[in-house]
Amino acid sequence: MSVYGFYAEVNIGCALILMLLLYSIRNLPTPQIKYSLFKNLVQWHIVYFLSDALWSLVSDGILPKNIYMVLLVNYLNSILLPIVAYSCFVFSEITTRTEMTREQIEWFQTKLRIPIFVEMILLPISYWLDPAFWLDENLEPRGLYYFVLLLIPASYFIMATVRGVLRGLALKDRQNLRTYLVVACYTPGVVIAGVAQLFFSMTTPIFCFWCTFIILFVYLHLQNQLISTDSLTMLNNRNRLNHFLHQQREVKNTYVFMVDVDHFKQINDTCGHSVGDKALVLVAQALKKSCEHLNGSVFLCRYGGDEFLLMAPTEKPSAVVEQIRECLRDEAVKRGRSCSFTIAVSVGYALWDGSPDTFKDCLVEADKKMYEDKRLA
């Protein structure tokens, strides 16, 4: 078997593996946008691997090797590779910016597509004006073709790497740091794999091996997140809380805050459960914003129903309570007329020594103070 034939087989094999993964992704019971973006990322990898297999078959002469076929397969690769890089950038950027609205996401994606559309138009024009500008007498791409092939993808990959790592390192919620870095690790690996393939041989399938491996790795991480994330509020759930309690950490002035939505049953009864869900999402967003003002490692989860739990190191727990209420007011004002209900919370807190054995007692004390706060409201 020729090296081109082996290269085609590996690409087709990786595409088949990702097709099985794609089938699994389509059956995930979640509407989260990151899974939709991940599905697009996998789809474009499949298309690129098949296109690359076609390129190798034409290069080897298994398929007709004439100027039209060579231009076609090289054009496909030069367009599909930037789309793959674009899908990776969008996935890593939006996954690490949970505060973005759907309108912001759509505008962000539109801007990022512009270089791809420009390349789609300019490449055929250049081929039509002077095919020899891109191909030598043996119908092999010249050096300028590879420069154009890699310019836009490299830009996407480098931007995704830098922005993802910097955002992850600046993240105060250390429980989500692994997610940020796992997502960001895809792009530097792709750059290294691509350079290695160019350095060793264009027919060494390093790139597709790495892409398939890291996509499977990210998928396993997303599956673990799905198990540990509340599907409504996108906060941690009780599974993640149990994991957090048994982690080794330095505990100093760490308080447990119990947050309960006031009159939540009344909101459900008078406005409907869909409005009640919106109220919970609003409170979750406010709690996320309040965490941004805290120093050190914080943990936030939906404890159950309309109760939320926040753990954070602080010397002034009363200031944290006031910060939560201020963020809640700001979030309600931002929603404006779309918010058809009045929302308020009761908060109780207790000092925790960091031991899993004492957490239940600490939780009981925080819960007791929370109900005292509710009676005073």
* Ordered per-residue pLDDT tens for the chain, 377 residues: 577 788 888 899 999 999 999 888 877 655 567 788 888 999 999 999 999 999 888 888 888 888 788 888 888 988 998 998 898 888 877 776 666 667 777 888 888 899 899 888 888 887 777 766 677 777 777 767 777 777 888 788 777 777 766 766 665 545 455 555 565 666 667 767 777 766 666 667 788 888 888 888 888 877 877 778 887 887 888 888 888 887 766 667 789 999 999 888 888 878 888 888 888 888 888 888 888 777 777 889 999 889 999 998 888 888 888 988 888 888 877 765 555 667 888 999 999 888 888 889 999 999 999 988 888 76
How many whole angstroms separate alpha carbon 377 and alpha carbon 370? 11
In 3D, which of 253, 254, 259 has the Cα closest to residue 348?
259
Quick check: 343 and 277 in contact, CB under 8 A? no
Taking each continuous run of H as one helix and of E as one strand, the counts in the chain are: 12, 4
Question: Which residue type occupies 195?
Answer: V
Beta 307-313 vs 254-261: how paired, if at all?
A: antiparallel
Chain region(s) in the chain for CATH 3.30.70.270 = 238-376
The class (CATH top level) of 238-376 is alpha beta
pTM: 0.72
Q: Does 1.20.1070.10 match the CATH number of domain 3-228?
A: yes
The b/e string for 239-264 (b: 16+ C-beta within 10 A; e otherwise) is: ebbeebbeeeeeeeebbbbbbbbebb
| Rg over CA atoms, the chain | 26
Q: How far does Cα 295 stand from its chain's mean position?
A: 24
